[in-house]
Structure 1
Amino acid sequence: MLDVAAADVAAGVPLAERTRRFGLLVGVDSRLHGRLLAGHLAHRPLAAGGLGEQEWWEQALALVPQLVAAAPAPETARLVELVLGAWPPEHAAQLEAKVR
């Protein structure tokens, strides 16, 4: 899965297109949905001012609380690390509230 995510990023496939069908998994297997989405987000690290920056943050911030509460997996840990490392310090309380 991570190889596919990396290849899609290298080919310039937009995040929305790569993750469009993932919503179908939520009702079937929410943990798999989280892992797939986390893998794609982690293979498209946030670049300040880059295309899709707002979309990346929205998806990542919606997903992080679920990932923290779920059983650990490599894909989810990478995304949580990216978000925690890039989150502006002045917004730390907001992230903490979302995770709790």
Structure 2
Amino acid sequence: MAIRFSRIIQAKQLLRRSSFGSNNNANAATTSADVPRGYCAVYVGESERKRHVIPIAYLNQPSFQNLLRQAEEEFGYDHPMGGLTIPCREDIFIDLTSRFCRV
């Protein structure tokens, strides 16, 4: 339980830093402005990254935790897109997140 909670805290801190911290990112102002409260933006894809806005509640899902572990292994917490990058195919990500809505 503590491991999951710490990963959620780290992911939230990363998202907060990527949204507000850097003026080098040209999309920083628009990124933070168009993400509603209770949601976060993630980038998904293997070669071409596409932005998705998801509920923060997804971070608690065990299958999403696996994606976070993969992201940590591949990128650490310094993501090339300036936000949380999920290293999986977009169709797999959409299939996975659509299952969360049915539960």
Structure 2 length-normalised TM: 0.26
Q: Higher helix share goes to which structure?
A: 1
Q: TM-score, normalised by structure 1?
A: 0.26
More strand by share: 2
